Amino acid sequence: MRAEEIVDEFPVVDIDSPARDAVKLLADYRLSGLVVGTDTSDKPYAVLPASQVVRFLVPAYVQDDPGLARVLTESMADHAADKLSGKTIRDLLPHKAQQVPIVDAEDTIIEVAEVMSRLHSPLVTVVKDGKLCGVITASRLLAEALKQ
Amino acid sequence: MRAEEIVDEFPVVDIDSPARDAVKLLADYRLSGLVVGTDTSDKPYAVLPASQVVRFLVPAYVQDDPGLARVLTESMADHAADKLSGKTIRDLLPHKAQQVPIVDAEDTIIEVAEVMSRLHSPLVTVVKDGKLCGVITASRLLAEALKQ
């Protein structure tokens, strides 16, 4: 079994698209992460796990001192997503360049598993001839491994 | 909005149950992680993200030297899940104790988001009166935040 045999289709969001739209996609389709692309390359630029998008609901002062989350009222907390307005996906990406979870279409499931677990990523992107051909999620990979 | 209003039901796997059965549950229901319990407490013992379960498909020598993944043949790689035989969930947990992503039923979505993003967890467990009452996944949390 090779990576390209177990890919799922997956939406790619442009790095300059509105953050709110992309987060809505993540929420509506219950995705484990977003694949971020640019218009200058066919390769994925980044994978943004859902658990990291969630960080943008948390005000900076709470990230610095988690205890402060307790002082926010329920109605203040409910408007957490307002922070996404006017932001693009680029603004949600970590400032430090991260290694992108990319595997080759010909890679085995062990090579896929190695990249996924080393980068703690809920999904890896699969590239064939320099182009994205889909993604493999952790649960899909486990399902395929158990079938054998 | 409080944590208990947005919980989803979620299976809890016993720490001493067979690893293969638990991984099958993860795969079949496309879960982002497993909630691990013990029979001595009503509180969750650990959350095991799917991307970390995947690590158990990777032989130790490949974890130490990722380049070695390339020398495995496709058919050797396809039998990666054989390693789960005879193992229990306890064997899949990290040796070092990890902080469990637990929030209180009364917590706001910012408190939930803070725990989820700080612990890089795809889901948090919600506890009421010392008992697990469900989980909140990252995508569900984002969906609820966007509704406001």
Considering chain A, what is the average pLDDT of its residues? Answer: 89
Asked if residue A41 has pLDDT above 90, the reply is no
Tell me, letter by letter, the H, E, C secondary structure of chain B: CEHHHHCECCCEEECCCEHHHHHHHHHHCCCCEEEEECCCCCCCCEEEEHHHHHHHHCCHHHHHCHHHHHHCCHHHHHCHHHHHCCCEHHHHCCCCCCCCCEEECCCEHHHHHHHHHHCCCCEEEEEECCEEEEEEEHHHHHHHHHHC
Of A29, A74, A141, the CB nearest to B54: A141
Q: Are B40 and B14 in contact (CB under 8 A)?
A: no
Q: What percent of chain A has pLDDT over 70?
A: 100
CA–CA dist B16, B91 (Å, integer): 9
DSSP string for A93-106: S-SS-----EEETT
B window 38-67, beta carbon within 8 A of A: 49-55, 57-59, 62-63, 66
Encode pLDDT of A77-100 as tens digits.
788 888 888 899 998 888 887 899
| pLDDT (0 to 100) of residue A105 | 95
Token duo for residue B143: 């969906």
Q: Which of B109, B120, B119 is nearest to B142 (CA)?
A: B109
| pLDDT (0 to 100) of residue A103 | 96
* Bridge partners, residue B128, by sequence: B131
| pLDDT (0 to 100) of residue A2 | 93
CA–CA dist B42, B128 (Å, integer): 10
Counting as low any pLDDT under 70, the low residues of chain B are none
CA–CA dist A88, A14 (Å, integer): 9
Domain ranges of chain A: 3-147
Q: Which of B55, B54, B57 is nearest to B26 (CA)?
A: B54
Report yes or no: A113 at the B interface, CB cutoff 8 Å. yes
CA–CA dist B72, B97 (Å, integer): 32
pLDDT band at A73 (very low <50, low <70, confident <90, very high): confident
pLDDT band at A18 (very low <50, low <70, confident <90, very high): very high
Give residue A129's region: left, alpha or beta (phi > 0; psi -120 to 50).
Answer: left
Asked if residue A76 has pLDDT above 90, the reply is no
Question: How many residues would you count in chain B?
Answer: 148
| pLDDT (0 to 100) of residue B84 | 85
| pLDDT (0 to 100) of residue B73 | 84
| pLDDT (0 to 100) of residue B3 | 94
ipTM for the complex shown: 0.85
CA–CA dist A145, A110 (Å, integer): 9
Phi, psi of B34 (to 5 degrees): -115, 140
Please tell me which residue, A74 or A90, carries the higher pLDDT value.
A90
A window 86-105, beta carbon within 8 A of B: none
Minimum CA–CA partner of B104 in chain A = A70
CATH superfamily to which B3-147 belongs:
CBS-domain (3.10.580.10)
DSSP code at position A122: S
Encode pLDDT of A55-70 as tens digits.
888 988 888 888 888 8
Q: How confident is the model over A6-20, as a mean pLDDT?
A: 91
Please tell me which residue, B67 or A107, carries the higher pLDDT value.
A107
- pTM equals 0.87
